[in-house]
């Protein structure tokens, strides 16, 4: 690749048309690739890296030009240089020049909104300050306890059947159950809420009705917390001295709910898939050579839940990765290719355990504020499931697994598994196969039967558990301390 000569930085020459020879405006054979037409984005990113280096010209729908940042170091520069790049799409020249039509498929990501994800400077600090304060108030011991209880509830719905789809019945439910509780509306967690979030993410025909359903719940929550303070995420947003309006509170709750739900469901599904398809990975986990947090971190490198984030925009003429970037150019921040940049990972199969310098949570002023909440849901979600169903096995072969892929993310469609049918458990108990009433099996010594058990008709759920006898003060303390 021959880098373009670097233009001096800091010049604010207004754009009057494509820069001469700009590869992003050259179409036809040999011109920039259309990202949205690719059936294999991983492969395309590597071809682009080989041809153009760490910053490559591409086209998105309607042949709108964009730079995709493929390098790890260049991605860090992009997100950590607020004087040069921002997330305010109103300065995007493709928008100003009318290249992006109102019905552009990426409009939900493109359209500027008065949200912290698009705001800059003092306004970003105001909104972000309220979110950071709400996250800082999280009691992680109680969060872990709540995730364990949610695992019990979600697994109780399928444990007696001996089979399940761990995407549709587990990974897509657990984060919603937890986030409804974290935000302050535990009673709103139900199948309809999960369905609504799925709809909004996939942009299906019912996405608008689903958005109205979710917003209705969040607006009721905001009004409740305005009337009556509460020690939950919504309560902290309402009470923060930044003085968020009701509309700002409910819109930020929506971003938090949907973004955290989608990312965590994706991460959870990816870690579980890896455990199920890679016997080495699983035996390292079972044998203690790898901890669950390390397994989660490895997947954040290999399969970041958001493959790309749309988008950053150049505030001035500048240079990135040897490319001349014009004022108003759009740049796609792309954790998926940046995490496999050969300059930081010469061997893509190398073990990255314990190394947190991946870009799955972004960086700089917009770095994900909820990353430790996301990590906790994924870690406990994997650990507790394997504690309850230690003999869980994939029901199809690895090459039958299918994914949906868009520029923004790659999702596993289904993860069908089987295991020995088990009774439900008391949600107040720590998830464990030892709580099963049926005969125990030691997962380290007794390998599971490789033949899938016949599908059992699902009987009416038995009563969950007898109410436990009252606990004395010491038992209550132990329960609080251990989290179960
Ligand atoms: C595994 C789970 C998660 C992943 C992978 C993830 C990833 C990300 C990424 C890549 C960004 C954009 C960074 C950028 O633009 O440079 C982001 C922003 C954000 N995330 Fe997360 N996230 C996760 C969970 C959560 C959770 C649990 C919450 C809330 C409790 C949350 C709240 C937010 C918010 C509010 C922003 C916007 C921040 C800003 O623009 O200042 N995320 N996240």
**236-295, pLDDT tens digit by residue?**
999 999 999 999 999 999 999 999 999 999 999 999 999 999 999 999 998 989 999 999
Is residue 482 scored above 80 in pLDDT? no
Residue in 114, 359, 368, 374 to alter for ligand 1 test, most ligand atoms within 8 A of Cβ = 368
Give mean pLDDT, residues 183-196. Answer: 92
Nearest-10 crossing angle of helices 246-277, 191-202: 90
Q: Which residues pair with 165 in a beta bridge?
A: 416
Give mean pLDDT, residues 407-414. Answer: 95
* 258 CB-contact burial (10 Å; exposed 0-12 / middle 13-18 / buried 19+): middle
CATH superfamily of the 124-304+363-482 domain: Cytochrome P450 (1.10.630.10)
Distances (CA, A) of 183 to 115, 171, 460: 18, 19, 32
Distance (Å) from CA 7 to ligand 1 centroid: 33
**Per-residue pLDDT tens for 93-108?**
999 999 998 888 888 7
Pocket around ligand 1 at a 6 A CB cut-off:
79, 116-117, 128, 131, 135, 255-256, 259-260, 263-264, 267, 305-306, 309, 333, 360-362, 366-371, 373-374
What is the rounded distance in angstroms from the CA atom of residue 454 to the CA atom of residue 162? 8
Range in 23-32, 75-84, 163-172, 209-218 the model is least confident about: 23-32
pLDDT tier, 203 (very low <50, low <70, confident <90, very high otherwise): confident
Contact criterion met (CB below 8 Å) for 144 and 380: yes
- Give the closest residue to 56 by CA, choosing from 25, 21, 9, 23: 23
Is residue 5 scored above 70 in pLDDT? no
Distances (CA, A) of 4 to 49, 77, 420: 15, 18, 61
Distances (CA, A) of 368 to 316, 379, 439: 25, 17, 44
Element (H, E) at 44: helix 41-52
What is the rounded distance in angstroms from the CA atom of residue 387 to the CA atom of residue 275? 13
pLDDT at 480 (0 to 100): 45
Q: Which residues pair with 85 in a beta bridge?
A: 314
Q: Which residues pair with 411 in a beta bridge?
A: 404
Closest ligand 1 atom to the C-alpha of 252? Answer: 35
Could you tell me if residue 103 is left (phi over 0), alpha (psi between -120 and 50 degrees) or otherwise beta? alpha
Q: 276 is written with which tokens?
A: 């199920």
What is the rounded distance in angstroms from the CA atom of residue 146 to the CA atom of residue 410? 28
């Amino acid at each position: 690749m021959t880098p373009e000569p670097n233009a001096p930085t800091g010049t604010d020459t207004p754009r009057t048309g494509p820069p001469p020879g700009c590869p992003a405006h050259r179409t036809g054979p040999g011109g920039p690739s259309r990202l949205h037409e690719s059936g294999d984005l991983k492969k395309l990113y590597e071809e682009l890296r080989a041809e153009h280096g760490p910053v490559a010209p591409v086209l998105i729908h309607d042949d709108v030009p964009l730079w995709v940042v493929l390098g790890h170091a260049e991605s860090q520069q992009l997100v950590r240089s607020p004087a040069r790049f921002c997330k305010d799409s109103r300065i995007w020249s493709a928008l100003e020049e009318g290249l992006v039509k109102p019905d552009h498929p990426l409009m939900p990501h493109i359209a500027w909104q008065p949200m912290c994800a698009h705001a800059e400077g003092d306004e970003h600090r105001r909104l972000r300050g309220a979110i950071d304060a709400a996250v800082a108030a999280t009691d992680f011991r109680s969060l872990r306890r709540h995730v364990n209880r949610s695992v019990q509830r979600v697994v109780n719905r399928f444990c007696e059947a001996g089979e399940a789809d761990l995407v549709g019945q587990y990974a897509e439910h657990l984060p919603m159950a937890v986030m409804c509780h974290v935000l302050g509306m535990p009673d709103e967690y139900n199948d309809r809420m999960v369905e609504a979030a799925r709809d909004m993410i996939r942009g299906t025909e019912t996405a608008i009705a689903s958005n109205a359903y979710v917003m209705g719940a969040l607006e009721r929550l905001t009004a409740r917390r305005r009337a009556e303070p509460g020690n939950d995420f919504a309560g902290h947003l309402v009470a923060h001295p930044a003085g968020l309006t009701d509309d700002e509170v409910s819109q930020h709750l929506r971003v938090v709910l949907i973004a955290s739900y989608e990312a965590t469901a994706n991460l959870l599904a990816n870690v579980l898939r890896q455990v199920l398809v890679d016997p080495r990975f699983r035996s390292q986990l079972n044998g203690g050579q790898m901890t669950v947090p390390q397994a989660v971190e490895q997947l954040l490198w290999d399969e970041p839940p958001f493959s790309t984030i749309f988008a950053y925009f150049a505030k001035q003429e500048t240079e990135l990765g040897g490319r001349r970037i014009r004022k108003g150019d759009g740049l796609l921040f792309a954790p998926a290719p940046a995490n496999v940049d050969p300059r930081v990972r010469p061997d893509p199969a190398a073990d990255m355990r314990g190394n947190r310098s991946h870009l799955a949570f972004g960086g700089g002023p917009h770095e994900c504020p909820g990353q430790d909440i996301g990590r906790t849901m994924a870690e406990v979600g994997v650990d507790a499931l394997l504690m309850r169903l230690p003999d869980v096995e994939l029901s199809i072969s690895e090459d039958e697994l299918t994914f949906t892929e868009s520029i923004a993310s790659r999702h596993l469609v289904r993860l069908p598994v089987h295991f020995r049918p088990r009774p439900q458990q008391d949600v107040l108990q720590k998830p464990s196969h030892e709580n099963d009433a049926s005969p125990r099996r030691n997962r380290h010594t007794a390998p599971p039967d490789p033949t899938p058990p016949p599908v059992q008709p699902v009987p009416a759920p038995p009563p969950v558990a007898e109410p436990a006898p009252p606990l004395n003060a010491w038992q209550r303390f132990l329960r609080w301390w251990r989290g179960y």
